[in-house]
Structures are given as C-alpha cells and as structure tokens.
Structure 1
Amino acid sequence: MLGKPKLYVKLGNDPEVEVSNVINGLQFLGDSTSPNVLNTYRQNTGVDGQTLIASNFDKSTVNANFYLRYKSYYDFMLAKHEVYRLFSNRRSLRIRTDAEPALVKYVVATPFAITPTEDFANDSKFTIPFDNPSGYKYSLARSDEISTDNEAVQMGMYLPTNKDLSYHFTGTSFQVFNPSDIAIQPYEQRHDLRITIKFSGSSLTLTNTTNGTSWSYKNAAAKSDVIILDGINTTLNGAAASVNTDYGNIALNTGWNSISVTGATEVDITFSFPFIYIG
C-alpha cells in the first residue's frame, strides 16, 4: 500500500520541510497543473484565418489540495495561522512532491480560504492555488551535480541509460546532453546556463555545431583564470568581462549537442544548468 502524498517546501535559504511534519493535523492530498500555452497570431487583411507569430509557455497554476484535522476551534485557529505563515509570505517557494522527488517548481501562493467542512466540524479541506511564473518544472540538482545513480534522478527525466553522463570536459571536442523537454536558450528565453572555462592560449571559441550557436573570448588567458559565461554575461575572475567577447551565446538543443573548442591549447570546461520540464 502506498503511503500518503508528501509535499516538501523550501523558502529561500531555510531548510526544506515536509508540511505534515511542521503543521499538526495537516495532510497534503496531491496537486494538479497543466502547461499554459500562449499563442500569438497576426491577422492578414484579405486573407482567411490568421498566421501564428509565436507560441510561448505562459505562467501556470499549481493547485495543491490539503486536509486539516483539529480537535477544537482553538486548534483550528492556530493551525490556520501556521498554514498562512508557511505559504502566504509574499516570497517565492520551492515545492516538490514525493511523486516527483527530483523535480521542483518555484511558486507564489495566491489568495485562498480555510474553512471547516461544515458547522462545528473538526476538519477542513482546502486548495491553495500557486502561481508558477515560469510555467516550468526544474531538476532538483543542476547538470554538474547529477549522476545517474543519485537521489536527484527519477523516472521521466529522459536521461540516457547506456552512457555515463558528464558535464565536465577537458578535450576540444565533446558532447553535452540536454534531457529537458525544451531547448536551453539563455538569450531568447533567459534560461539558466552557466559555463565555467579555464584555458591556456591566445583566445577561445566555443561552438555548438548542432545548432550553430557560438561564443568567443578574444583575449589570452592562463589556466589559473576562471572565465564564466553566465547566460549572456561573461566574467573573468569575478569581474565583468563581456567586453572581451564577441557577445555571442551558447544554446543547447534537446538531446545531444556536439561542442567544439578552438583557439586554446588546454581547456577545462563545465556546463551547469537545471533541466527544464513542462507540465
């Protein structure tokens, strides 16, 4: 027999908590959500129908259902306050369930009411609608923190089973796997992709030959220098250094991406990003 559903909540740098452990009598019943696709069209005068201009994932709603059991009106008021204190704090919460333990959503609670199931009852059923501004689910761990046998992996993440997964490379030709439902696009969609680079040579160019995106660091560097391409911004040893680049960027298609490195004699490169899933 399966256990009761569990909801884990993390606020900022606070420790993650399971809601039934921190609020007496509260039981999570499960949640539901679905992608919210926003299509934009252009109407052409004199032409039937409309032309699709763009299709984007809009913010979605996560409906989390709860059951609260209490002994008295006074216990009810205390528990009600604890629920509001945990969820309604005007800050983004990271939530995940035991059904998808390796996937998280970053959500904000919207208004909700907690009332007894009937007059003089000792229980309440209520739903908290959370806004999910990104519309995405993310992997609990980033790519460079994941191995195929740790707790940050679950079924449905579409990780390869026949090949060791690594995001740290020391060669000038390698492959980066993106198991996400969508492409990772730091420029177009502002997705989180951090590439940490150490190299020796007069310059360095990274090229994703799978989709043609590229980024070049035009100055010389020593192996002790740490260059980070964080989305579309570059730093050198912590200082802004985008001026040393061609202002390019690297995107990752879904699946395998072939990356080539030119202009450097020694390289040490790490790709770090959360995997993105829809639904």
Structure 2
Amino acid sequence: MILLYYQLYKSKILSFWTSRFTGERNTLSGTAKIVTFTSRKGGVGKTVCTTLLARYYAEVEGMQVIVVDFDASCGVTSIFYAQPFEEEDLSIVDLLQLHEDNQDVQDAFAEALIETGMENCSHWAQNGGRIYLLPSKETLDQAIVQADPYALREVLTSFDLPDNFIILVDTGPEHKNVLMGVNAADIVFLPMMFSRQDIYPAVDTLRVVIKEQLLNDRAVLGGLVINDYGDTQWEQEYADKFRKLFLSFRDNYGLVTSADDIYVKLKRSKIIKRGKHMDWSFKDDFKGAAQKMAAAVQIQPELSLGVF
C-alpha cells in the first residue's frame, strides 16, 4: 500500500489516515466520483466495461482508479488478482459488515485494497495512473440481504478520496446488488446487448436509476453501453427501438442523462472474447468507447436543473 499512501499524501489527505493519532478532525471533503456499471441481466459485459474504463483512466488520464467488485461471482477480482483469494483476506464484504456494526472501516480498507500492478504491463503506456482492486467474495449476496440500500455509498464516501481518484463499481445482476450499486453512484452505465432478452432487465434497471434520481438527485445515466456491436441492419433496428424506449423514460418519468447521445458502442472483438483486452495494446476502438464514457462522467449534469 506504499504507492497508495504516497498518492494520498500528494493529494493532501494523509490527515485522513493520521487524524486518529493526532486527535485533529479531518475537514477535507472527498470529491472522487463513483461510477457504477450495472444491469439486471448477467453476461452483458459489465465487467468488460468496468475494466476498459479503469484502463482508460489509469493509462490515458493518469488517474488513481479503485475498482470495487460488487458481484459474488468475483469476475473483476479474477481479472485483476491472479492469486488464490483466501477466506481470511479482507474484501468489500468485510467493510460492509464493519459499517453495519458501526465500526471504523479505514484500516480494513487499507488492508483489503490490492495494488494490481496493471500499469506495469509492457503494452501499457506509463502515465502515472494506477489501478487498485477492492475485491469481492462468494458470500457477498448473503451478506447484503439485510443490508441498508445505501451502505455501499456510505462506505465508499467515507474514504474521502480527492478528485484524482475515481471509483468504479462492477455489480452483479441480482436486485440488491443493482440497487446498492445505483444508490452508491454519481454516474451509472447500463451495459447491454441488442436482444429481446435484454429489454425487461434494462427497464427494471432504469426504474431503479430513476427512483434514485428522484430521491437523492444522483445516479445520472451516463449511457447505454452496447457490447458486441456489429452495425448490422437488425442491430440498427434494435437501436431505434431502445432509443424510443429510452425517450419514453426521459419524457414520461424525467430520466436524466449526461448527453442526448445515449449509446456507447463497443464493437464486436475477438480480443475481448478471449479476455486479452487488458494485456495487449489499447486498441483505438476500445479507447474511443472508454473516452466517451469518461466524457459522460465529466459532464454529470445537475439533476435538479432538469437539463435533458
């Protein structure tokens, strides 16, 4: 954790970690944004989108990225952490339990956080950015059954990270995972594929997003990330159908988005199917999709203004 502490020191929040020893109150307000990738449907590319945006922020923008695995299948944990994960190793599950017990999570956060070292890959450009992993465990779903829907946000915001950090949350498809992921988010992306099976899960997810927007003026929809996009005629037809569905949510229920162009298209790729998108050079197609997502995060309109 030496590198992480160094970044915190550079960002003038070392007092956050030392205030318990000095007795001084930490008055710095954290400004790191929380971005959630979520859907009520599994297998639509939530983890792929999360890892691509994490790479973009670290490699291109030189940011410090914390990826939170909020899925009991531990998909993003397996990508960023190749070693066996032991039962005694700390994870987001343990932080949530400490929070529920009204205990301090800071020491556990420092112990649970894993330096992935992805920035040291030979095919990555060195730009000062790093990716850290807050892993999950298979017990996550059982652990959050009775959890407060806002517990994840309360845990993540308690870190008081500055704006050169960004937190990316990769959720599972179960309702409670989606609910807590959306409630934690400043920005939400909905990964999906153009298929009949994606319509109802997308609608269910958008309802959760709209509810959080109305209740707390958060969870701006950054976009619909279309995975495995091939630009065929039938896909264009689906794009038109989903656009009409989206417009009905925007016009009838006040859904707020970062931009009018809601689609982020991630083209069909053998590299992604083989799981090599984090190992090889950052392809322009991948970088372009990630850049569009990052632009949506940067915009983040004020919901109360009703800008769209």
Q: Does TM, scored on the shorter chain, surpass 0.5?
A: no
As a proportion of its length, which structure holds more strand?
1
**Higher helix share goes to which structure?**
2
Higher relative contact order (CA 8 A, sep 6+): 2
- Radius of gyration: which is bigger? 1
What is the TM-score with the length of structure 1 in the denominator?
0.28
